[in-house]
Structure 1
Amino acid sequence: RRPRVSSAPRRGAGSHVWLLGGEVGWGGTLGFFQHLAVHECHYLNGTEQVRYLYRHIYNQQQRAHYDSDVGHYVADTELGKPLADYWNSLPKEMEQRRAAVDICRYNYFMASFTVDRRVEPKVRVSPMQSSSLPQTDRLACYVTGFYPAEIQVKWFKNGQEETKHVVSTDVIQNGDWTYQVLVMLESTPQHGDTYECHVQHASLKSPITYEWADAARGKMLTGVGGLVLGLIFLALGEGPKTEHSTRGAASPEPSTGGRSPP
């Protein structure tokens, strides 16, 4: 697929988070400090104009940032001024930040294979049973082959969402840039109830629903019962039919047109 080119501004971001804490003595209070480093790529008219931003945030307060349009670090608070001055004095640091614009350009064209990539999930709903129980005691919704990994799978019984008896595996990699997940409803299906697996994913224009209805199982059982009864009647009627067929059967001789065979 060709890279998406738009006249509207486009933005990509990445971040690193550090949570800092320390041990405290008896009766002390444990404290945490958050250091957040955010990298942003802004695009206008494809890669015609690329802007790179690096934001340094400490305890939810931005102290300093680097802007490729400006070309150096800018302090956002008084505490950020020493940081900005220090980073601006490091040639290697400045060289790395200026080169980040080229990384943004590269990432723009890679986005169609990573950020923008969408693969629709394949869904299958089937009953399951424990080895110790003769009847079905849960329903499984298998969802596989989707990308990206974020997905939402819900179970509905008779139109109402089930939350108490739902068990899900983690989202697992398939090894081919797609993922899978198994979501089970641990409930014995009752006659007349309907069950739906509801799947919502970024690749879908709208959520999709897969139904497992007890009515379908009833039809299947009715068909099996009819087949069994048919076989019974066939077995009971096989003797007389065979006898009648034997009595009345006579193989016709081929016509010779009234002449005796030579």
Structure 2
Amino acid sequence: MFYVTSCPAGLIRKVLLPAGFDYFATARFDFNSTELKDIEYIVSYYYNKLEYARFTSSLGKFVGYTEWGVKQANYWNSLTSYITGLKADKETYCQYNIGIDYQAMLTKSVEPTVRLYSRTPPAGHHPSMLVCRVYDFYPKTIKVRWLRDGQEVTSDVTTTDEMEDGDWYYQVHSTLEYTPRSGERISCRVEHASLKEPLVTDWDPSMPDSERNKLAIGASGLILGLILSLAGFIYYKRKARGQNQSEPEPIRTWIEPEHI
């Protein structure tokens, strides 16, 4: 289910008064479907960043939030033609634009990416902890569940709320603390509007992340050592060869022995 607020720029009015205070009004609509009954049309008036009066289509009238706002709301509510026009805007303006929003944006979806990894649990807890990171998905609504041999796990599970990435995508993290059993299968199950069927990712405990990291670091160090050793050997050989070529050949002379 979508819940969207739209505030078209054409319905925003802003006035800077001589004293330096801001006065502005906004009109927006909140909705979770294209049905007219699920649309709330809201017109708000502000002075110096404080909302002092608001019209909502569900009430069909203005409500004041300050002393001046109450007086102004009563005045606007007495203008029958004005209130009737605002009620009509819900259908003539909001419903039309909501259809455009649905076609342009709200029907789009992006499949999530799932990554499973282990983490050291807090002291005194279960000996193992898994993290299921689900990210780069749209829209926001998503379900993340843990499975143990195909059965849902509900205890020792912690899941964050959907977090915005700032680029229209979302992410969520879910952790499972558990005690490993031989031959069991731990899985992270993700349900999302972009998926035709749930995405199930199994945990591979063949080698923990920490061991994989240690192995990768060790292999990198070994390769670097071999490269440095080879470079040193080549440098030594070239230097030794250059020294041999630069040394002059000894001059051999034959001295005739003196005759006695």
What is the TM-score when the length of structure 1 is the normalising length? 0.48
Whichever structure has more helix as a proportion of its residues is 2
What is the TM-score when the length of structure 2 is the normalising length? 0.48
